[in-house]
Amino acid sequence: MNILIMVALAFILDLLLGDPHSWPHPVKIIGRLIAWLTKKFNRSSYSARKKKWLGALTWLITVGGSGLVTYIVMRLVAVNYYLYMVIGTYISYTCISARQLAIEAEKIMKSLQQNNLKKARHQVGMIVGRDTDKLSAEEVTKATIETVAENTSDGVIAPLLFLVVGGPVLGIMYKAINTLDSMIGYRNERYKAFGEVSAKIDDIANYLPARITWLLLIISSWLLHDDTREAIAVGERDCEKHLSPNSAFSEAVVAGALHLQLGGPHYYFGELVKKPYIGNDHFVIAANWHLKRTITMLYLSSFLGLISFELIRFLIIWE
C-alpha cells in the first residue's frame, strides 16, 4: 500500500512542479556517471570487442549502482515511516516527466507562434537526439510531436509501471536503463559497439510499456473524439516502422489519430539516418493545434496508466 501512495503522490507532484532545473535529481547524477564512464571506457584506440565489454560494464555499474544506492537510502530512512514516505515519494517523483515534457513542448510551440525559428530549433535540440540546426518550422513541430509521443511511453508510462511494480528502487533502475540508451545507445561509429548492450536492454525494458502506451493512446483518442479508427489502423500498420522495436508504437497511434505523417530520414551527428515514414501524408501540420492535442493525449494516457496500474496492484494485494 505504501508504494501505491508514493506513486500517486509522485504523479501529482510531477503535474504540479514539473522538473525544476535547480532541484537535486538522481537522473542528473546518473547522467554524469555515464558521461564519466564513457570518457574512460569508450576510446577510439579500443577494439569493437573491447568496447562492447566495457559498454556492458558501464551498464552494470550504472544500473546496478543506481539500484543499490536507492535500496540503501530506502532502508536507512525506513526507521521513520514519514521520512520513508517523503523520500520514497520524492525519488518516485523524479522518475516521472509528464509535466516537464509538456513544458518543453509548450516552449517550442510559443517560439513557433512568435516566428522565432532559431530559438525553436535550439529548444527542440534540447529534447531530441537529431541535428536541429537546419530544420524547418514544420520539421521542428514534427520532431516535437514525435518526442512527446515517444516519451509518453519512455518518460511516463514505463516509469509508472516499474514504480508500481517495484517502488523507487525499480523506478530508478529503469531511469538508469533509459538514460544509458539516450546517451550511448546510438548506432553510429562512435557508440555502436560501446552502447550495444545498453540499447538492447532498453528495448527489452520498454517492450511491454510501449504496447501498453499504444493501447492507452488509442483509448485517449476515443475519449478526445479524435480519429480512433485511423489511430488503430495506422497504429497496427506502422507500429514497427522504426529502428527501435518500441518507439513507433506511440508515434503511430498519434500520427493516425491526428492525421499526421511522422518519421522519415533525419541527421544524427552529421550522418543521414534513413527512417520509414509513420502515418499517412495528410495536410500541413498546424503547429499550435497538433502540439496541444499531443500534449493532451500525453496527460490523458498518463492518468489512465496510473489508475490502471494502481488498481491492478491494489487488487493483487487484497486477493
Query: Would you state the pLDDT for residue 283?
Result: 59
Say how far apart CA 280 and CA 261 lie, in whole Å. Answer: 5
pLDDT value at 315 more than 70 = yes
pLDDT band at 95 (very low <50, low <70, confident <90, very high): very high
The answer to whether 231 and 219 are in contact (CB under 8 A) is no
Mean pLDDT is lowest, of 84-98, 227-241, 290-304, for: 227-241
Whole-structure pTM value: 0.91
Q: For the chain, how many helices (H) and strands (E)?
A: 14, 4
Mean pLDDT is lowest, of 75-79, 187-191, 224-228, for: 187-191
Query: Would you state the pLDDT for residue 286?
Result: 63
Mean of pLDDT values over 57-80: 96
Mean of pLDDT values over 133-154: 88
pLDDT band at 284 (very low <50, low <70, confident <90, very high): low
What 3-state DSSP class applies to 47? coil
Q: Looking at the chain, how many residues does it have?
A: 319
Query: Would you state the pLDDT for residue 287?
Result: 67
Residues 6 or more apart whose Cβ sits within 8 Å of residue 59: 177, 180, 197, 198, 201
Say how far apart CA 289 and CA 305 lie, in whole Å. Answer: 24
Say how far apart CA 20 and CA 25 lie, in whole Å. Answer: 9
Say how far apart CA 282 and CA 261 lie, in whole Å. Answer: 7
Return the residue matching grid coordinates 537522473: 27
At 159-214, the pLDDT tens digits run 999 999 999 999 999 999 999 998 888 877 788 889 899 999 999 999 999 999 99
Rg, the chain, Cα only: 20
Scored b (16 or more CB within 10 A) or e, 11-47 reads bebbeeebbeeeeeebbeebbebbeebbeebbeeeee
Question: How many C-alpha atoms does 85 have within 13 Å on its Cβ side?
Answer: 9
Which one-letter DSSP state was computed for residue 149?
H
pLDDT value at 319 more than 60 = no
Written as one letter, the residue type at 95 is C
pLDDT band at 270 (very low <50, low <70, confident <90, very high): low
Q: How far is CA 90 from CA 8, 165, 171, in A?
A: 11, 17, 12
